Chains A and B, each alone.
Chain A
């Protein structure tokens, strides 16, 4: 039998239903891989072995009884930001030490209702703040992909770095991440995977630990576009517990996978070829555009004039919202408390928060507090919200001309863990991904080629809000044409 742990969900479903292997066998194979690889990669911060085997046994029963649900027996890793009932959830922060939710997030509950299996909680940048996974209290994650002929440890991207590494290293079939400014699409691009962020409101945020509420959205990693659509089928739902959740009928996101690109208009924006960008990425971008054209799509030049301002706009809005969201960590309700005899309530707050938050989280809380403080609110926060509207307007205008927009996912490929980037260089990592969060659009990154060092390059497809079915259609057509073979990457 071929290596089970490398198969797609679609292939696994087929094998499970044909009883070629059981979910318990599959789960054990992943657990075996985790034991071997996780000490080096640090993709999982918690492995729920007993729970996984118990869920797998139940899945096998359902399959045997002919009652298989859509994701029956498929093992997942879940970012440590989703509240999982009775299973430790710390958002990879010291301040949430030992936090064990008494309830389940809606998105994960949807997965379990469809028969999926929890293998464990995945490492991440603390409170989802970062593009490297180096800001985790639980240590950095190592990208399973390495450069040809080099042993340099690369970042997996972030903030969902553990979720990406787990799929790339065959430590699960697929995984959940979350995407506030590119935290699924950028690591997918750095690890040679498919990574998808749904429309804002498509998935419930209930039980997801908040970073920036107007931008946060669930997301997921998979080995194929079809898998990505299958996962969205499961995790999307209207939820009255999230007031921003969209009241949409359930739809089958795989419905148009085979429709091809004939008759579609795909927009290309010159603003997505930036100065200082890796030339290999520009080359793959041009090639991908040609492929879309060869498949019958009409390529249309569009303009997204504010692209360059996405990163600063994002940093004002996200840090402002974060400073408010993270005010709840005060040593009273959960997690860490630092308090000495005789300390005042205020001493307890500030001691707890100083000990509990890492440097990047503190920096972002401070920036957010600054842009919201009196005298600066209009100049920074309101200004950024106005620019945010211009982003939405840019996209509305573009989507009056085209069905989808094709862009590179990132301006760079995976870089070394020890490479020094300035804060602003680091923030520019997100330049191509933040616009979708600002405008609430769905976006997907698919692997489209490699750079001169054989590290993967991702291309991003954006569509109008709630047009995920069309987005998967474009992504699938390109995937079939590109034929990216992730087994040809170099792995550690």
Chain B
């Protein structure tokens, strides 16, 4: 059985951009360990030579890549918490 350690929880949380308090880390570690050991029951199944199924195989349709709804920047930005000069605005960052 795999244990999801406190360190792993912190790493996953940072990857998912979710802050967790030290208390939450302990609780999440217990809960995730429980869930992960449950899903590990799948190891009882022999899947040698089985192709992974990514999705239900409907034949995907191709279409031309053309603009059909031009000039809607106002609509696109309508729900933005902050926008400036016709763009989404975010805190200043330099990397």
Q: A interface vs B, CB < 8 Å?
A: 98-100, 102-103, 200-201, 214, 240, 243-247, 306, 309, 312-313, 315-316, 323, 330-337, 339, 343-351, 353-354, 357, 362-363, 365-367, 369-371, 373, 380, 382-390, 392, 423-424, 427, 439-440, 465
Contacts and interface: CB of A to CB of B under 8 A. Distances in A.
A315 B35 contact: yes
Contact of A345 (B19, B32, B91): B91
Given A385-B53, A386-B47, A389-B50, A240 B61 contact: yes
Query: Which secondary structure characterizes the binding site on chain B?
Result: loop
B14 to A, nearest CB: 8
Query: Which secondary structure characterizes the binding site on chain A?
Result: helix
Interface string B53-79: 111101111010000000010011011
Interface of B: 4, 8-9, 11-20, 28, 31-32, 34-36, 38-39, 41-45, 47, 50-56, 58-61, 63, 72, 75-76, 78-82, 88, 90-91, 93
A373 B36 CA distance: 14
A312 B56 contact: no
Given A337-B81, A344-B91, A383 B58 contact: no
A214 B56 contact: yes
Given A323-B16, A337-B82, A370-B32, A384 B4 contact: no
27 contacts: A102-B72, A243-B61, A244-B55, A244-B60, A247-B59, A309-B41, A309-B45, A315-B35, A332-B88, A334-B81, A337-B81, A344-B93, A346-B17, A350-B18, A362-B18, A367-B35, A369-B12, A370-B4, A370-B32, A373-B15, A383-B47, A386-B52, A387-B50, A392-B53, A392-B56, A424-B38, A440-B56
Nearest to B88: A332
Contact of A383 (B35, B43, B75): B43
B16 A313 contact: no
B60 A214 contact: no
A385 B52 contact: yes
Contact of B93 (A345, A385, A388, A424): A345
